[in-house]
Structure 1
């Protein structure tokens, strides 16, 4: 049984564990979905009407029965119906996911485009003043929460420059790419700040290790230009830990977009999930978390497969 087959077998096991955790966690929050959905109007309903609504959404039954009905529906591709939107959960998720995916991809592009050259730059100037500056900036970026950075950026733009980031109606990329990127570039930079710092530190550390290897010293001894030694010989091997970090961070970016989407008023999957939690929309919360978990696992599987392209010495079939 090869590595890919073993990983695919673990998918349903992990998803089962995630489904149990999110199912129990959302129900441990005080309150119920009917009251949260109707707000003050819930007090106008008679007990019979509340019971009818609870029966309609299936929350009048035991947790075990609710879980069995939900998990049975998942097997058939039925994620349930959202209390908030009155639509199938999967339809609501797929309508919001493209924005969150675009935000995460842009954040990754910015992080790699900035962090990788910065890490290489710092490694080639190890222990010099420029290296120290890069390391300090990376530590600050990694230690500062994204929502703090977002609020500070908005305050500086509004108070210092008299402008505000565009928070109007979201424009999809397929409708107007320029308007879309105008809306998305600042939130993506805020979301990707910590990832940029992590890429900088990991790429610097990996480059320092690789630059001391025999094949790099041999390339230098043969008179290869310094640029070729760094970018053609050293960097490809130093990319492996960066790829590993990118796979893990991609999942975190999808989940971490909640606060950034809330700050910049972006109607993405993260903001929708937060609203669903506040509304006690059990089916939508459960479906969203499972959807993000599945994407996280797929990305990590793809990262493992990329290892082979970066380092032919790795054979996934022989890994434990």
Structure 2
């Protein structure tokens, strides 16, 4: 509990640091939100109208004053009004987040279901042709950018089969699960491809280390089957680095896979942040980055707690 308390107590300090960085960084981008929002029509505004809009969006004061106002509102759960959508920032974020969360979970499921068995398979056949084939495939997967793999999938489907991925308006899972899966399966494969390659390499390396430990040799000497040695004795300890990698990668996925969401026209969190930056939507960028940072910290905390479940010898209270 001491460890958990310390980690939770650090959350506000980290979020405060993130808020300072993102608040001033977005304002260093040339341009202003009113011009970016209205485009050429911004030139038609009278000075009084521009001033009124600046007051409405809270950008009429010097930066330190703006930050202080925003911070005070933040303590009351008010992230401001999005200049792009004309809605509360938190409402916009919560509308986009379910898609990104579902995409991240599906990508993680694909990566782990492929990467862990492939890594175990390669480790148990160390230096054999099958091990070499898995290692080469993993290296190709890590070396191929996600946008290249995504465009390749679209090209193969369109040129080879005469079909295109299901795009258009996104359908939530609770409205039509089949259509929802049809919209997300290809983006999830695109994201899961490179991640599965990383999981494969980490799983193989960890399994090779564990298989040479004394307790594994003891299990073999007592007559345990090869399957039992690998999956019951070795794999749980080999999963610790995989959990670490998965936590970091899942945090990035929750941050929004910007390129993949752009390729497949998915209205997710990453695409929203990109559009908000282009529109100089200060409030939306600030709120979204804080939300992403909070998710990242929660995932990292859960990963640390998962270590105890995988290896009871680890005592987080002493760290």
* Fold in common (TM above 0.5): yes
State how far apart, in whole Å, the 2-side matches of 1:277 and 1:94 are.
Answer: 18
Moved over 4 A (4+): none
Post-superposition shift, 1:80? Answer: 0.5
- Corresponding residue number in structure 2 for 1:54: 54
Q: How does 1:80-159 map to 2 (within 5 A)?
A: 80-159=80-159
- Cα deviation, 1:73-114, whole Å, max 9, x if unaligned, reads 111111001011111100110111000000000000000000
- Cα deviation, 1:179-234, whole Å, max 9, x if unaligned, reads 11111111011112221111101100000000001111111112211111100010
- Corresponding residue number in structure 1 for 2:235: 235
- Residue 91 of structure 2 aligns to a residue whose secondary structure is helix
Post-superposition shift, 1:121? Answer: 0.5
Q: How does 1:1-320 map to 2 (within 5 A)?
A: 2-319=2-319
Post-superposition shift, 1:161? Answer: 2.1
- Residue 60 of structure 2 aligns to a residue whose secondary structure is coil
Post-superposition shift, 1:160? Answer: 2.4
- Residue 255 of structure 2 aligns to a residue whose secondary structure is helix
Matched length: 319
> CA separation of 1:93/1:256 partners in 2, compared to 1, >3 Å: closer, same or farther?
closer
Tell me the TM-score normalised to structure 1 length: 0.97
- Residue 116 of structure 1 aligns to a residue whose secondary structure is helix
State how far apart, in whole Å, the 1-side matches of 2:125 and 2:314 are.
Answer: 31
Of 153-162 and 113-122, deviating more is 153-162
State how far apart, in whole Å, the 2-side matches of 1:193 and 1:72 are.
Answer: 43
State how far apart, in whole Å, the 1-side matches of 2:127 and 2:106 are.
Answer: 32
State how far apart, in whole Å, the 1-side matches of 2:151 and 2:176 are.
Answer: 27
State how far apart, in whole Å, the 1-side matches of 2:215 and 2:99 are.
Answer: 44
Coordinate RMSD, CA, aligned: 1.1
Tell me the TM-score normalised to structure 2 length: 0.98
- Cα deviation, 1:52-81, whole Å, max 9, x if unaligned, reads 111211112111011111111111111001
Structure 2: runs of 5+ lacking an equivalent: none
State how far apart, in whole Å, the 2-side matches of 1:229 and 1:77 are.
Answer: 52
